[in-house]
Amino acid sequence: MTKRSPAFKLLTMPQTSSFTAQAPQRPSLHEEVLIGVDVGGTKIEVCALRHPSTSDPSCLGQVLYRERLPTPKGDYQATIELIHTLVEHCSQTLKIQWPQCVGLGIPGTLDAQTQTIRGSNSLVLNGQAMAQDLRNSLACDVVLQNDANCFALSEAMDGAGQGHAMVFGVIIGTGCGGGIVHHQQIWGGANRLGGEWGHTPLPWANELERQRAPCWCKKSLCMERFVSGTGFEEDHLVASGLPLKAQEIVGLAIMGNPQAKASLERYIDRLARGLSMVVNILDPDCIVLGGGMSLVEELYSPLQAKLSSYCFHEGSRTPILKAVHGDSSGVRGAAWLSQTPAKQP
């Protein structure tokens, strides 16, 4: 396999949620390092975290290394090889032994019956025995999870949900996903469908909402069609005739534009309706929001009030929190996966 020599990024976690390049933060000789890989449609990223067994509690989850490279388009074998290359770069740069286990986050799910990938918007992954192929390539255990589950795990371990027994993680970006973490363990469910609230129907849909075109999954009224960033943009286009990006709509709403304010209010109401079903069924200790729409600060206060009004018990006060680690949560969660042995056969 040809080795690449891109610029390495050796990073530590500063006091804020952003990352800054610093000198190598190499672990001690016998210290264990957690390595995770996040596979996205445009980039594949590796991350190394300091293991929680370190003697210094302040180092919990400290980022030792991060690197991103473009995802090979439509080439499954090249994707496997690139993951191997990234893990190799990480191990060589940190001067650590080859990992015993690597965590992997993907846009899709490992089918419990066939052990192949299903439901990925990176179509080249679907139908592939990716976990086993990576075990063969890396010669180590591989724990594979949906990227939304990785997000939820990251925030439960040392993010906004730290210290909470049950965390429901929500991604509201280009799409809409979710993950359940209970006592710092991902709850995937018997069919690996745990947390897939984005493809549950919008509760109490009105006549206009029922006219929305079906989701890409071919079902109607999926939450993703309403509370993803693209769903928000589509709703505003239908209502106003203006093809604006989500951040433009929010900006206009803040400035008092009536149409934009109405679009944002509809969005918050629909998000509250969907999350009320999560609270009624799971009753999590907190809900953590991630993805592009989670950056809208004007969302949180009215969403909290609306959520309580839609829950079975109107006195419900489930905290809705903004993710601490932002778009790093996916790869960080993948790294946290590697601290437990692979459970997939």
Torsion over CA: 17, 22, 24, 30 (sign) = negative
Do the domains 11-153+328-337 and 161-323 sit in the same CATH topology, yes or no? yes
Span 161-216, pLDDT tens digits: 999 999 999 999 988 999 999 999 999 888 888 999 999 999 999 999 999 999 98
3-state SS class at 5: coil
The residues, any chain, with a CB within 8 Å of residue 173's CB and separated by 6 or more, are 228, 229, 290, 291, 292, 293
Strands 185-186 and 286-290: unpaired
3-state SS class at 118: strand
Most confident listed range (193-197, 276-280, 314-318): 276-280
Structure tokens belonging to residue 239? 């209502």
Structure tokens belonging to residue 104? 């992997």
What is the structure's pLDDT at 27? 54
Q: Which residues pair with 106 in a beta bridge?
A: 146
pLDDT at 340 over 80: no
pTM of the model: 0.86
Helix/strand/coil percentages in the chain, nearest 5 = 40, 20, 40
What is the structure's pLDDT at 327? 83
Compute CA distances 180 → 47, 288, 291, whole Å. Answer: 22, 10, 16
d(CA 193, CA 174) in angstroms, rounded, equals 20
Q: Which residues pair with 172 in a beta bridge?
A: 176
What is the structure's pLDDT at 59? 65
What is the structure's pLDDT at 150? 95
Give 257's pLDDT tier (boundaries 50, 70, 90).
Answer: very high
d(CA 41, CA 190) in angstroms, rounded, equals 27
Torsion of CA 231, 232, 237, 242, to 10 degrees: -140
d(CA 168, CA 178) in angstroms, rounded, equals 7
Q: Which residue has the higher pLDDT, 41 or 227?
A: 227
CB atoms within 10 A of CB 187: 16
Q: H or E element: which one contains 133?
A: helix 130-138
Q: What are phi and psi of 119, to 5 degrees?
A: 70, 25
Q: H or E element: which one contains 36?
A: strand 33-39
- Listed by start position, the domains of the chain span 11-153+328-337, 161-323
pLDDT at 63 over 70: yes
d(CA 102, CA 274) in angstroms, rounded, equals 34
Among the listed residues 28, 47, 31, the one whose alpha carbon sits nearest the alpha carbon of residue 39 = 47
What kind of architecture, by CATH, is found in domain 11-153+328-337? 2-Layer Sandwich (3.30)
What is the structure's pLDDT at 6? 33
CB atoms within 10 A of CB 163: 10
CA 197 to chain centre: 13
For the structural domain made of 161-323, what CATH number should be given?
A: 3.30.420.40
Q: H or E element: which one contains 278?
A: helix 258-281
